[in-house]
Amino acid sequence: MEEPRDFPGRLRHDVPSWVKAGAVFHVRVRVAPEQATPLTDTKLGADLITAVRRYHDLGRWWCRLVVLMPDHLHALVSFPENEAGMASAVRDWKRGTARFQGVRWQSNFFDHRLRSEAEADEAWVYFGENPVVKGLVGRAEDWPWRWSPFDQAH
């Protein structure tokens, strides 16, 4: 008889070989319960956005949009074909921000491949409206904790 395994076990974040290079993923990363400082703290939020931009500029990922919330972040991200993988890029980014910014992240992360530009557009709107729905700001465009290379102001 087979031994029962712990549920849910480790999530796999390998991009299947049949997924085209440059596919867009919704990635969500949550802080651990013991994380005292919200991601939207003035200094921490600015440092995290700088870290996202740095990975973008280094070519570890191509970030269309990142939105910080107090206890998690959402990102629309593509990963280069020559990259060691999505799991490697996100793991390394989390390790760096844990070390240099002191963020305590939950282990693992959520990812979902977006199958069309329409899905990517829907995710963009969802991310932008998240602070409004949570009552943190009145209008999505007033939320300071977002970054996109498409934004002219950054």
Classify domain 24-115 by CATH number. Answer: 3.30.70.1290
Copy the structure tokens of residue 71: 């206890």
153 pLDDT higher than 80: no
Could you tell me the pLDDT band of residue 152, with boundaries at 50, 70 and 90? low
What residue has token string 């990812």? 111
Q: Which pLDDT score is estimated for 149?
A: 94
Contact in structure between 21 and 61 (CB atoms under 8 Å):
no
Give the span between the Cα atoms of 45 and 39, in whole angstroms: 5
Q: Phi and psi dihedrals of 68, rounded to 5?
A: -90, 135
The structural domains of the chain, with segments of one domain joined by +, span 24-115
Mean pLDDT of the chain: 87
Structure confidence at residue 86 (pLDDT)? 87
Predicted confidence (pLDDT) per residue in 60-87, tens digit: 999 999 999 999 999 999 988 765 678 8
Structure tokens at 80: 């280069």
Q: Is the pLDDT of residue 8 over 50?
A: no
Residue 48 CB neighbours (<10 A): 22
Nearest CA among 138, 150, 137, 131 for reference residue 67: 131
Task: Give the span between the Cα atoms of 26 and 127, in whole angstroms.
Answer: 10
